[in-house]
Structure 1
């Protein structure tokens, strides 16, 4: 469990990113920078907060120009999103994809390290937008290839775990009948191009959706011992269910990157400062351990914590506004000191 002494932002994020662990472990953790709020600091100050605290990876959800400018020469690896609302034009028109890549990637590529381009976030297979995901990915790829950047920057999409039709036990994980025809060609594209699938993995939502069967300790990584199916935490079980599902659609070597994971500090059942601090602490410990999951032992789990700030305009459940590691005034919400000595 985390300590709550007033230690200072630098120590928090020094610990968060695991700078006192191995270089490989440190490279596994990033932080999502969402901006659905009206009270956040300017992008330049946010990038400074990332830099001064050693956060080496960032995910953003749209090509915000102020953020891209502030990222120049920062050495922060960037995951950048193609917003859902832009996919139709990009999928239907190669010139639209070329313009997007020119304006948001090539114009910055000498000074910004782009890691992934995420074409769409949590698209439902039954949503009309789903038909545009793969063609948009293909057109973005073609535009990158014209600039000879296709091997340097990988293209993917981010899915939600809800696309699983079966997840228990994890070895029997399988995508839903609606998701299989949607995901199979996307996954084939990823495997062909050596790109990972991104997945937003939230034990919090699984826990509040089934408290009768999911102990809080299992969701928070604090359970002692393993379950009857060999798992000590829900995060690993959810991730391995995705790996099992990918295997069933022919993607045995697909890598999955956890593009979001977090726990809210308020606004819902189980959403407390103590639980959120425990979750982030233990997730970071787990990712930095290098142990992987039961299905992928010893494999690094590239993970992006959600999120840098509380976002006061996020729609949906009240808890959506309380996932921040920091408050909008840049002060820390947690001291995750329990991993300081790892």
Structure 2
């Protein structure tokens, strides 16, 4: 009996402590059914998922799966959720009605909004209204409200400890960071060494792929991922939000579309990233780093060759790389 109890407890502890999730995008016309996708997550011990809208079929398929979920408020929806009633309806329809069977963890109110975007003024009011609706449903201890940014908001990123948001981004991000601090919520950040490398080929490819042996620069950083993440942490400190944790809501490497976008490089990146985020960064050594790989499938209706080739799996559910998620 004791041995059976141990066997039951250990897998559940492993799932609870898992730091790796995978983003599930659906911009394709050849993907498996939602139920098949959930089964694919479970069979590969992937315990976390991000979806980019509250897709009802996906939410139905997630019921009872225990897969922890990030669900996005789409950028197109932000303005409407500046109305408190509309935000309450959105939360009731997409969160509360599924909350007994779906393990919601974060709500990402907007994805990669920049200070000059038309939606920028809607992000914080929408976050506040969604938070109020979550509080009214007594779910505030279970679900955290945030937004997902990218590293282009940084005006300075090197050396990492000098990381700072750009002058244009400070006015946008500071009140959001205050909101996150007040509510004990993390900042969601999409972190892509691939884009940094392809934007500056003087960067060592092996540094971007976690393959550097020993320190690659005078700052003591051995990989670009840690350098990008710690630059964001330094930037948060400079806007008086030192206690806000960062969850990496996307990170990936395409297998086609550029000379650096090869199956070998992508497989190397994903394998090394999965192993690396079990620990921390030089600035935040206490790991693991909660990280969501982008993405589950190649998506043939996305724009651009690179964008169509981030999948860890082909649409026929065959793995593109040999990865262990547990």
TM-score range, shorter chain: over 0.9
What is the root-mean-square deviation in Å for CA atoms of aligned residues? 1.6
Asked whether the 8 Å contact 1:94–1:139 carries over to 2, the reply is: yes
Gaps of 5+ in 1: 1-18
Q: 1:295 aligns with which of 283, 291, 294?
A: 283
- The Cα offsets for residues 28-48 of structure 1, whole Å up to 9 and x where unpaired, read as 110000011111111111011
Asked whether the 8 Å contact 2:164–2:231 carries over to 1, the reply is: yes
Asked whether the 8 Å contact 2:277–2:289 carries over to 1, the reply is: yes
Match for residue 214 of structure 2? 225
Question: Cα offset for 1:25?
Answer: 8.7
Question: Cα offset for 1:26?
Answer: 4.8
Runs of 4+ in structure 1 off by over 6 angstroms are: none
Match for residue 89 of structure 2? 99
Residues 1:128 and 2:118 are matched in the alignment: yes
Match for residue 86 of structure 1? 77
- The Cα offsets for residues 164-188 of structure 1, whole Å up to 9 and x where unpaired, read as 0000000000000110000000000
Match for residue 59 of structure 2? 68
Superposition pairs of residues 1-342 of structure 1, within 5 angstroms: 23=14, 26-91=17-82, 93-212=83-202, 214-226=203-215, 227-288=217-278, 290=279, 292-315=280-303, 317-336=304-323
Give the Cα separation in 2 of the matches to 1:24 and 1:229.
35
Question: Cα offset for 1:51?
Answer: 1.4
Give the Cα separation in 2 of the matches to 1:24 and 1:210.
38
Question: Cα offset for 1:53?
Answer: 1.6
Give the Cα separation in 1 of the matches to 2:93 and 2:65.
19
Question: Cα offset for 1:269?
Answer: 2.7
Gaps of 5+ in 2: 1-9
Give the Cα separation in 2 of the matches to 1:298 and 1:143.
33
- The Cα offsets for residues 78-127 of structure 1, whole Å up to 9 and x where unpaired, read as 11000000000001x11110110011001000101100000000001100
- For the residue of structure 2 that corresponds to 1:258, the secondary structure is strand
Give the Cα separation in 2 of the matches to 1:193 and 1:159.
18
Give the Cα separation in 1 of the matches to 2:36 and 2:285.
38
Give the Cα separation in 1 of the matches to 2:158 and 2:79.
35
Asked whether the 8 Å contact 1:125–1:178 carries over to 2, the reply is: yes
Asked whether the 8 Å contact 1:310–1:321 carries over to 2, the reply is: yes
Give the Cα separation in 2 of the matches to 1:253 and 1:232.
24
Give the Cα separation in 2 of the matches to 1:269 and 1:154.
39
Specify whether residues 125 and 257 from structure 1 end up closer, same or farther in structure 2 by C-alpha distance, changes over 3 A only.
same
Give the Cα separation in 2 of the matches to 1:128 and 1:269.
34
- For the residue of structure 1 that corresponds to 2:110, the secondary structure is strand
Asked whether the 8 Å contact 1:25–1:287 carries over to 2, the reply is: no
TM-score with structure 1 setting the length: 0.90
Question: Cα offset for 1:24?
Answer: 7.9
Match for residue 6 of structure 1? none
- For the residue of structure 1 that corresponds to 2:167, the secondary structure is coil
Give the Cα separation in 2 of the matches to 1:211 and 1:108.
46
Q: Which structure carries more relative contact order (alpha carbon 8 Å, separation 6+)? A: 1
- For the residue of structure 2 that corresponds to 1:178, the secondary structure is helix
Asked whether the 8 Å contact 1:25–1:300 carries over to 2, the reply is: no
